[in-house]
Structure 1
Amino acid sequence: MEDSLHPAATSHLPPFITAPGETDVLFNVMIVFVLLMVFLVGILYLRLHALPEHMAHGASKTQLQIIGALGLIALFTHNHLFWIAALLLAMIEFPDFASPVRSIARSLAKIARREDSDERRESATAFAPPPKAAPLAAPTTSEPQWVPLEVGPAPHEEKIEQRG
């Protein structure tokens, strides 16, 4: 067989046209390029959907879970409103209400443990023999001396006197 051109073909063919039976290099290059681009666009798409979660990485656990759920809903439903809501929630820093409550709970637990240890100490000493006491000294006088208290008028009586 001769490698002659068809009579309808031009004398000069572009370089991407291959002869029959040879490997089409441009086709193979384009397959690799398209597969690579699909892979890269997929990575970019998934990274973009994970952006709110990356932004809220330092946030509280509850906020991160809400943002993650909104991101997944946006990914599976292709409803961008959920992704925008997740992005806005990631930008907002909520106040930490749990830390002061945990601190109060720790302090109360510490106080309760201290009282428990005091009760244990008292119960441990309740069964111990009493210490030897010194003999009591005789009172100097037979009757206690009472000191009278000075009592002023009641507060409501003062107001009545001021008006009258």
Structure 2
Amino acid sequence: MQALTDGGVTRMTPEIHPMAPEHLPRFVAAADGSDYLMTFMIFFVVFVILGLGVAYFTLHAMPEKMAHHSNSTQLQLISVLAMLALFTHNNLFWVGALVLAAFRPPDLITPLNSIAESLRALTTRSPEPAATAPAAAAPATAAPVTKGEPD
């Protein structure tokens, strides 16, 4: 396209400059301002950024989903750790939430409660009556043996 000037007004003609090649690639912008490559790249970058954001938030929600599915007792702790990891970008919180959600901690309270109940039952038990105990004779005490003295 060439620019023609008629009385101060510039018009474009559909002719190609004589130095230009016969065939121009598609990514070269046309004279009307349409740039197909730039339009494609704008949409591509927007969709990639949105996709990465969705993947990031899905990854951060993984410990909470695991805790919901396994009915974990530490669900609130896992949720708080996941939120702390999300807002502080400290991955140690996220790893801690993932470990708590993935592995069930050992139950240490139940055996301790059982021991406490057994001790409570032993201390509140009434003493056995004396009648059922075997009658014991007076204990026989042996005379001390002294050396060197005959009887």
Measured at CA, do residues 152 and 43 of structure 1 come closer, stay the same or move farther in structure 2, by a change above 3 Å?
closer
Structure 1 runs, 4 residues or longer, greater than 6 Å off: none
Report if the CA contact (8 A) 1:49-1:71 is conserved: yes
Number of residue pairs aligned between Structure 1 and Structure 2: 109
Shift of 1:16: 1.5
Match of residue 21, structure 2, among 10, 29, 32: 10
Tell me the amino acid that sits aligned with residue 77 of structure 1. T
> What does residue range 83-162 of structure 1 map to in structure 2 within 5 Å?
83-95=94-106, 97=109, 153-154=135-136, 157=137, 160-161=139-140
Tell me the amino acid that sits aligned with residue 75 of structure 2. L
- Compute the TM-score of the two structures, normalised by the length of structure 1: 0.55
More helix by share: 1
Measured at CA, do residues 77 and 152 of structure 1 come closer, stay the same or move farther in structure 2, by a change above 3 Å?
closer
Tell me the amino acid that sits aligned with residue 5 of structure 1. I
Q: Distance in 2 between matches of 1:43 and 1:152?
A: 81
Q: Distance in 1 between matches of 2:91 and 2:85?
A: 6
Shift of 1:38: 1.1
Instruction: Specify every segment of 5 or more residues in structure 2 that has no aligned partner in the other structure, as ranges.
Output: 1-11, 114-130, 143-151
Q: Distance in 2 between matches of 1:33 and 1:85?
A: 35
Q: Distance in 2 between matches of 1:33 and 1:73?
A: 31
- Compute the TM-score of the two structures, normalised by the length of structure 2: 0.59
More strand by share: 2
Q: Distance in 2 between matches of 1:21 and 1:87?
A: 55
Instruction: Specify every segment of 5 or more residues in structure 1 that has no aligned partner in the other structure, as ranges.
Output: 102-148
Q: Cα deviations across residues 64-122 of structure 1 (Å, max 9, x unaligned)?
A: 11111111111111111111111111112135658xx8xxxxxxxxxxxxxxxxxxxxx
Do residues 54 (structure 1) and 65 (structure 2) align? yes
